[in-house]
């Protein structure tokens, strides 16, 4: 398998889906739809939607086989909303995202807030409409994404992260809760959405959850390492902002070397979980590898 070529193919499929499933920029009010597309079409690694597509095809095709593309776009809409809101002045107050001015810098704060709200809502509308012919699947997908992005996980993780800022007594367990909620929940959900679309059984779904959780933690530890070691131009977002904000990160808590060891251990655990699944796991295993060595 040619991993870079396959990643490019799946990423192009995601770009096509984004253009297909998002209202055109000319839809009134044009400024809002332009802002939604501005943030979503700025690039990004597309990890979560690629995971949906790659996980769905691990399992034998059903008849009829639901197309995972709408679910892939839905999770990217949700992820992008969280980035737009995270960059707002009341949160991280950041100027750079995906190599471009953040949404509130390019437009204004109210437009950015509304574009984030609209992407969040659109994610669920997309799942409800694209899978309407299979109501139990639509229900399972909506429940999964709602659970991963709600007050106990994504939003809860963001709240815990804000509360933890400048708190010098954050423990490794506190930090793990924040990152399991903020980062790993969405990566886990991406793999589970792919499994649900492919009618994976309960045991395979549990394995996908475990793989996603480990991959999510590996991804976040790598993110902390990059924040401490890479530059803003490479990252496409402001580097060094965790230390500046006084945030407790894996690097602050464990040091660089130990953080790199922890990231490797989480990647290994993700790979072990994926190897428990049947089907052609080559692409997913290579994707886990590429995430552990990524430069942005
Ligand atoms: C609900 C307001 C609100 C926030 C949710 C996800 C989140 C909390 C904030 C985003 C900022 C952040 C540092 C999150 C941790 C997860 C993470 C590393 C996100 C960036 O994901 P990438 O690197 O981004 O996949 P691209 O741009 O490549 O899609």
pLDDT by residue (tens digit) across 186-204?
999 999 999 999 999 999 9
Tokens of 41: 């079409």
pLDDT at 85 over 80: yes
Answer whether 14 contacts ligand 1 (Cβ < 6 A). no
Distance 135 CA to ligand 1 centre (A): 30
Total structural domains within the chain: 1
Answer whether 86 contacts ligand 1 (Cβ < 6 A). yes
- DSSP bridge pairs for 100: 97
Answer whether 80 contacts ligand 1 (Cβ < 6 A). no
Distance 103 CA to ligand 1 centre (A): 14
pLDDT at 229 over 80: yes
Q: Please state, in angstroms and as integers, the Cα–Cα distance from residue 67 to each residue in 51, 62, 190, following that order.
A: 14, 11, 14
Give the whole-angstrom CA distance, residue 235 versus residue 43.
Answer: 12
Distance 241 CA to ligand 1 centre (A): 14
* Residue 97 Cα: closest atom of ligand 1: 27
Q: For position 287, what pLDDT does the model report? A: 97
Distance 182 CA to ligand 1 centre (A): 8
* Residue 98 Cα: closest atom of ligand 1: 27
**DSSP 8-state symbol, 151:** T
Residues sharing a CB contact under 8 Å with residue 291, sequence separation 6 or more, in sequence order: 47, 215, 218, 219, 222, 267
What range defines the domain where residue 267 resides?
Answer: 3-292
Q: For position 3, what pLDDT does the model report? A: 97
Q: Using pLDDT thresholds of 50, 70 and 90, give the confidence band for residue 76.
A: very high
Answer whether 182 contacts ligand 1 (Cβ < 6 A). yes
Distance 228 CA to ligand 1 centre (A): 16
Return the best residue to mutate from 82, 121, 165, 185 for the ligand 1 pocket (most ligand atoms within 8 A of CB): 82
pLDDT at 75 over 90: yes
Among residues of the chain, what percentage have pLDDT more than 90? 86
141 with 129: CB under 8 angstroms?
no
* Residue 161 Cα: closest atom of ligand 1: 8
Q: For position 266, what pLDDT does the model report? A: 97
Give the whole-angstrom CA distance, residue 191 versus residue 187.
Answer: 7
Distance 223 CA to ligand 1 centre (A): 10
pLDDT at 166 over 80: no
* Residue 76 Cα: closest atom of ligand 1: 29
Give the whole-angstrom CA distance, residue 50 versus residue 101.
Answer: 25
Give the whole-angstrom CA distance, residue 55 versus residue 68.
Answer: 9
Q: Using pLDDT thresholds of 50, 70 and 90, give the confidence band for residue 237.
A: confident
Answer whether 218 contacts ligand 1 (Cβ < 6 A). no
Q: For position 223, what pLDDT does the model report? A: 92
Q: Looking at residue 202, which CATH number applies to its domain?
A: 1.10.600.10
Q: For position 248, what pLDDT does the model report? A: 85
């Amino acid at each position: 398998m040619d991993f870079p070529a396959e990643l490019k193919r799946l990423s192009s499929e995601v770009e096509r889906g984004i253009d297909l499933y998002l209202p055109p920029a000319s839809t009134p009010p044009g400024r809002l739809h332009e802002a939604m597309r501005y943030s979503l079409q700025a690039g990004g690694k597309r990890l979560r939607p690629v995971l949906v597509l790659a996980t769905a095809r691990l399992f034998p095709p059903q008849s009829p086989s639901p197309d995972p593309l709408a679910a892939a776009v839905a999770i990217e809409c949700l992820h992008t909303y969280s980035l737009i809101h995270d960059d707002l002045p009341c949160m991280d107050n950041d100027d750079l995202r995906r190599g471009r001015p953040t949404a509130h810098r390019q437009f204004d704060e109210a437009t950015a807030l509304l574009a984030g709200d609209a992407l969040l809502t659109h994610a669920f509308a997309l799942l409800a409409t694209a899978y309407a012919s299979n109501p139990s699947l639509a229900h399972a997908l909506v429940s999964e994404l709602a659970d991963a992005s709600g007050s106990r996980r994504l939003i809860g993780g963001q709240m815990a992260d804000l509360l933890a800022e400048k708190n010098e007594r954050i423990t490794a367990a506190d930090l793990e809760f924040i990152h399991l909620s903020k980062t790993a929940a969405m990566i886990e959900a991406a793999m589970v959405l792919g499994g649900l679309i492919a009618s994976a059984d309960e045991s395979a779904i549990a394995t996908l959850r475990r793989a996603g959780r480990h991959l999510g933690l590996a991804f976040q530890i790598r993110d902390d390492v990059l924040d401490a070691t890479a530059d803003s131009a490479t990252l496409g977002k402001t580097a060094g902002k965790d230390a500046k904000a006084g945030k407790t990160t894996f690097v602050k808590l464990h040091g660089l070397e130990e953080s790199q060891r922890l990231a490797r251990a989480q990647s290994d655990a993700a790979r072990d979980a994926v190897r428990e699944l049947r089907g052609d796991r080559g692409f997913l295993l290579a994707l886990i590898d590429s995430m552990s060595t990524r430069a942005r």
